[in-house]
């Protein structure tokens, strides 16, 4: 094999990669936060809601989980703009990622909420907690604590999936790679570099979620076990 590897493009293009990675981080942090909010509300509806809203949430979850993210992104970006709603690539990307993330988070949070026993709710009632207090302290936080490992892997998967938004010209990390490789013709090397950056980002996200978990679930930190 006579192929010569050449990583010299890094010398003057590295700021592009940094900018791309930064946009990836921004897109995914926003999508994770909003997706978690959507998923949590939907999970509450799915467990405690009335029949109709519960079925609607079920329909939403099934619809999203059984179609590819790529097509969801196309529908938001190309589909909505053809119907007259023009959105920038970044906004479309965030909407698609939030809708997608929300469906997966709903299922994960539902499992957590269903693991909270009825007696806990009754005890909260006896202590005179309001409905909001009960949901926040008795249901959501312990539920999240139990499903936190699944949630954080889902967040890392979302970060990796955000690469798909490059197909609608969101200038995140993968789109940057596509641009640099078409300028330098060093395709293989460019994608090796970007793969390494993504590996670094995955490690960074895992570390960050571990740290957040440590801060958020004080009881687990003190007792060494989840509830």
Partner 1 sequence: MIKLNVNHILYLVQAAEWTVLLSLIAFAGGSVVGLMLALLRVSKIGLMRALASGYIQIVQGTPLLIVLFLSYFGLGILGYKLDPLVAAGLSFTIYAGAFLGEIWRGCIEAVPRTQWEASDCLGLNRFQQYVYVILPQAVRLAIPPTVGFMVQIVKNTSLASVIGFVELARAGQIVNNSTFEPFAIFTVVAIIYFALCYPLSVAARALERKAHVGR
> Shortest distance, CB of residue 51 to partner 1, whole angstroms?
20
Which of 14, 187, 212, 219 lies at the binding interface for partner 1 (CB under 8 A)? 187
CA–CA dist 149, 153 (Å, integer): 6
User: What are the start-end ranges of the E strands in 42-198?
Assistant: none
Secondary structure percentages of the chain, helix, strand, coil, to 5: 85, 0, 15
Query: Which token pair is 12?
Result: 């003057």
> Shortest distance, CB of residue 221 to partner 1, whole angstroms?
26
Residue given tokens 């005179």 in the structure block: 128
CA–CA dist 190, 220 (Å, integer): 42
For residue 117, the SS3 value is coil
Which of 8, 14, 55, 68 lies at the binding interface for partner 1 (CB under 8 A)? 68
Per rule CB under 8 A, is residue 198 in the interface with partner 1?
A: yes
Residue 134 or 163: which CB sits closer to partner 1? 163
> Shortest distance, CB of residue 123 to partner 1, whole angstroms?
28
Residues within the interface to partner 1 (CB under 8 A): 1, 3, 62-63, 65-72, 74-75, 78-83, 156, 160-161, 163-164, 166-167, 174, 177, 181, 187-188, 191-192, 194-195, 198-199, 202-203
């Amino acid at each position: 094999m006579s192929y010569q590897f050449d990583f010299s493009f890094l010398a003057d293009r590295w700021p592009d990669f940094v900018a791309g990675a930064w946009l990836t981080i921004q897109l995914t942090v926003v999508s994770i936060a909003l997706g978690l909010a959507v998923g949590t509300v939907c999970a509450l509806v799915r467990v405690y809601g009335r029949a109709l809203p519960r079925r609607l949430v079920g329909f939403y979850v099934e619809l999203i989980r059984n179609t590819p993210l790529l097509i969801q992104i196309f529908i938001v970006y190309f589909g909505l703009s053809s119907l007259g709603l023009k959105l920038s690539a970044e906004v479309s990307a965030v909407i698609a990622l939030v809708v997608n993330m929300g469906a997966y988070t709903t299922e994960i949070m539902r499992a957590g909420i269903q693991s909270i026993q009825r007696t806990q709710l009754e005890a909260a009632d006896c202590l005179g907690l309001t409905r909001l207090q009960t949901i926040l302290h008795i249901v959501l936080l312990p539920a999240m604590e139990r499903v936190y490992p699944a949630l954080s892997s889902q967040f890392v998967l979302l970060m990796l999936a955000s690469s798909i938004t490059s197909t609608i010209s969101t200038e995140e990390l993968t789109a940057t790679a596509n641009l640099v490789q078409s300028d330098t013709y060093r395709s293989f090397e460019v994608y090796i570099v970007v793969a390494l950056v993504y590996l670094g980002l995955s490690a960074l996200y895992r570390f960050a979620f571990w740290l957040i978990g440590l801060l958020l679930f004080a009881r687990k930190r003190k007792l060494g076990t989840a509830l």
